[in-house]
């Protein structure tokens, strides 16, 4: 997958860091200091549909372009820019009884995006 | 992030101005974290914990059990450290723990619980300590004895006692009471209760929303 830069219009991963101090949550979340709420955005034209990440080979892209242009009518449904790799978010925080709680929330951080 | 005058790349709607977009994303991040922690709103802390107690306790937190597969049945694992509210009653030390029920969504299953307490003993002394597990009676009226453990303590420092199924069940209900009853002459004050860095605490390993979780189709 690729990270969004400048005016990139193709499917890419947009990094977005939430600083817990900025939102006033640093008093109850002990670790980490923030959450990388990255998200996927951008277009998925047909010739890159089904790519695990836009960085797939040029050869595949040309083949798919030919397929897409020769296919009669448009293939069913569009292709969407979705997460293709994610990792857990480990949190250490106080609950309402001031207990210290440690947990790993699965699939919370998007690491890569691609076209469905 | 689209330029202010253009359309949103993903949905074609007119793009939000960057300030509104940032606010929307921050609200989304808050909502996402609270939902995954089964919280309706961020907690307001009732009893602040000192940095010394936090540091001492974290040295005893360990990672998930080796070979554990939290995804195996979609449960989410938590490790909870609960500091005791302490009280003295006729030569017995009573420790009250409130393992909060924020996580009751999907049922909270305590898989392991242990008591950590600090003892200051005179040199070359061995001390027998009885730890009684008290649970609320059927009509939540009084505390009744569920079980007890006998412990030989022969050195000052931190001691860990693994608590059995009765204490785990009490933790699952959100409230655990322990009584430390010293045997023999050693002074009651040997168990250090006060002091920021020596507060007794319980470490519980909890799973929420395990096997009985309703699968979303």
Above pLDDT 90, what percent of chain B? 22
pLDDT digits (tens, 9 = 90+) for B126-169: 888 899 999 877 666 788 889 999 989 888 888 999 999 999 98
- A104 CB neighbours in chain B (<8 A) are 64, 70, 77
Tell me which residue in B28, B37, B46 faces A98 most closely, judged by beta carbons.
B46
Residue A98 has pLDDT above 60, yes or no: yes
CA nearest A102: which of A27, A30, A33? A30
| Interchain proximity A43–B42, CB inside 8 Å | no
ipTM above 0.90, yes or no: no
DSSP letter, residue B156: S
Report angle CA B67, B208, A38 to the nearest 5 degrees: 80
| Interchain proximity A94–B25, CB inside 8 Å | no
Tokens at B117, concatenated: 């307490």
- B78 CB neighbours in chain A (<8 A) are 101-103
pLDDT at B42: 94
Q: Which of A7, A88, A95, A108 to mutate to test the interface with B (most CBs of B within 10 A)?
A: A95
- A23 CB neighbours in chain B (<8 A) are 26, 29-30
The answer to whether the Cα torsion of A111, A115, A116, B3 is positive or negative is positive
Tokens at B195, concatenated: 């002091």
Residue A64 has pLDDT above 80, yes or no: no
Q: Kindly report the nearest CA distance between residue B30 and chain A, in angstroms.
A: 9
The more confident residue out of A64 and B53 is B53
In this structure, chain A runs to a length of 116
| Rounded-to-integer distance, Cα A33 and Cα A7, Å | 29
> Please, are residues B165 and B111 in contact by the beta-carbon 8 Å criterion?
no
| Interchain proximity A101–B43, CB inside 8 Å | no
pLDDT at B105: 44
Looking at the complex, does the CB of residue B196 fall below 8 Å from at least one CB of chain A?
no
| Rounded-to-integer distance, Cα B82 and Cα B72, Å | 27
pLDDT at B41: 92
pLDDT digits (tens, 9 = 90+) for A35-54: 999 999 888 887 666 655 55
The more confident residue out of A48 and B30 is B30
Q: Which of A102, A110, A113 to mutate to test the interface with B (most CBs of B within 10 A)?
A: A102
- Point out which residues pair with B14 in neighbouring strands: B7
pLDDT digits (tens, 9 = 90+) for B86-124: 766 556 788 989 886 555 544 678 889 999 988 888 888
> Please, are residues B151 and B161 in contact by the beta-carbon 8 Å criterion?
yes
| Rounded-to-integer distance, Cα A53 and Cα A19, Å | 28
Give a three-class secondary structure readout of A32-94: CCEEECCEEECECCHHHCCCCCCCCCHHHHHHHHHHHHHCCCCCCCCCCEEEEEEEEEEEEEE
| Interchain proximity B76–A105, CB inside 8 Å | yes
pLDDT at A71: 58
Looking at the complex, does the CB of residue A116 fall below 8 Å from at least one CB of chain B?
no
pLDDT at B54: 87
What kind and span of H or E run contains B166?
helix B165-172
> Please, are residues B87 and B182 in contact by the beta-carbon 8 Å criterion?
no
Mean pLDDT of A50-68: 60
């Amino acid at each position: 997958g690729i990270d969004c830069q400048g005016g990139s219009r193709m499917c890419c991963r947009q990094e977005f860091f939430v600083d817990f101090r900025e939102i006033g949550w640093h008093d109850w979340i002990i670790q980490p200091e923030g959450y990388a709420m990255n998200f996927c955005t951008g277009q998925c034209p047909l010739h890159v549909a089904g790519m695990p990440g836009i960085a797939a080979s040029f050869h595949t892209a040309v083949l798919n372009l030919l397929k897409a242009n020769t296919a009669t009518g448009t293939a069913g449904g569009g292709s969407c820019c979705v997460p293709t790799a994610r990792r857990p978010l480990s949190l250490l925080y106080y609950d309402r009884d001031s207990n210290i709680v440690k947990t790993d929330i699965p699939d919370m951080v998007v690491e890569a995006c691609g076209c469905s | 992030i689209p330029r202010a005058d253009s359309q949103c790349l993903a949905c074609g709607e007119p793009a939000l101005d960057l300030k509104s977009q940032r606010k929307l994303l921050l609200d989304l991040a808050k909502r996402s974290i609270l939902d995954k922690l089964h919280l309706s709103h961020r907690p307001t802390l009732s009893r602040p914990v000192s940095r010394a107690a936090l540091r001492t306790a974290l040295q005893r937190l360990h990672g998930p059990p080796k070979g554990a597969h939290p995804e195996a049945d979609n449960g989410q694992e938590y490790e909870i450290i609960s500091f005791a509210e302490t009280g003295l009653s006729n030569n017995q030390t009573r420790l009250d723990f409130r393992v909060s029920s924020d996580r009751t969504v999907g049922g909270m299953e305590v898989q392991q619980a242990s008591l950590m307490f600090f003892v200051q003993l005179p040199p070359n002394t061995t001390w027998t300590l009885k730890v009684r597990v008290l649970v609320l009676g059927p009509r939540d009226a009084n505390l009744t004895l569920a079980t007890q453990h006998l412990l030989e303590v022969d050195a000052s420092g931190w001691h860990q006692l693994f608590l059995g199924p009765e204490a785990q069940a009490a933790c699952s209900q959100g409230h655990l009471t322990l009584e430390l009853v010293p045997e023999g002459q050693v002074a009651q004050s040997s168990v250090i209760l006060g002091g920021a860095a020596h507060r007794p605490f319980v470490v519980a390993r909890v799973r929420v929303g395990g096997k009985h979780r309703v699968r979303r189709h």
